[in-house]
A and B are shown apart, each in its own frame.
Chain A
Amino acid sequence: MRSSVLLLLLALAACDHGVCSRHSDCSPGQTCSVEGTCSVATIDAAPTDDAAPTDDAAPSDAAAPDADPEMDGGPP
């Protein structure tokens, strides 16, 4: 029992805090890379991907009001 506690303490003492294996090991805004290091998520990665559907959605939403006047204007 004592030896297992000693091993646990030795392992804790040997901890390397510069590496990660879970994204939650990193600070908020950072992700854990394949190499096991925390890095800030690049601007090209997340925001652009997130923004793309919104941008795609916006014109279609905007197109609807434009279409109505055309429809309104069509029959006469």
Chain B
Amino acid sequence: MRLAVMPRVRSLLVLLLVSHTAAADPPPLYEAELRLGYGVTVAGSGGAMETRPTPLSIAATGSVAISVEPQLAAYGGVIAETLDRNSVGATAGVRLTSPTLPVRFAAGGVYVFAPFTLWGGQASVGACHRGGGLGLCGDLQLTAYVAGTDLAPGHTVTQIQGVLGMVFDAL
């Protein structure tokens, strides 16, 4: 009898702990984030594909919560590429955060406007460790550029990057 009850009690305690944590940490209304990304570019046309390191991507974004349940936020900001080239652009999208797990999903678009143009879509999945208004996040990010003056004719570029992010709760 005691052995059968213990797992239920333990599950109940875990559930209470999780619900308490979720209730104690409401999603911040505004957030700022600095992101550094680096990884692999898979590019090509038709059957010919090649891989090469991506530029170092730097993004400074701000987000605003647009829904509490589900925890949805809209983000936007500026991006830059550096190391082997220099380019500047903008990004925007939505981010879904799990209320019980430190997992987040994001999807959006990217527009590089200088010195050449690039249009693409972006998706990422990752996790954050938060404390005291700050958070350290790690994401796996996929970016696909499908149009723009920077692309060689008939080519597309897909980037797979590991992204390190520092999140600041603004409010």
Within 8 A of B (CB), among A4-57: 4-5, 8, 11-12, 14-17, 19-25, 31-34, 36
Spot the interface stretch: B14-22, B26-34, B148-156.
B148-156
Interface centre among A11, A14, A20, A33 (most CB of B within 10 A): A11
Contact B51 A22 (CB under 8 A): no
Q: Count of chain A residues with Cβ under 8 Å from any Cβ of B?
A: 21
Query: How many residue pairs bridge A and B at CB < 8 Å?
Result: 71
B74 touches A (CB below 8 Å): no
What chain A residues lie within 8 Å of B118 (beta carbons)?
Answer: 22
Contact indicator A8/B160 (Cβ below 8 Å) = yes
Contact pick for A21, options B43, B149, B160, CB 8 Å: B43
Q: A residues within 8 Å of B by Cβ?
A: 4-5, 8, 11-12, 14-17, 19-25, 31-34, 36
Indicate if B61 sits at the interface (CB-CB under 8 A). no
Q: Which residues of B contact A36 (CB under 8 A)?
A: 43-45, 48, 50, 152, 155
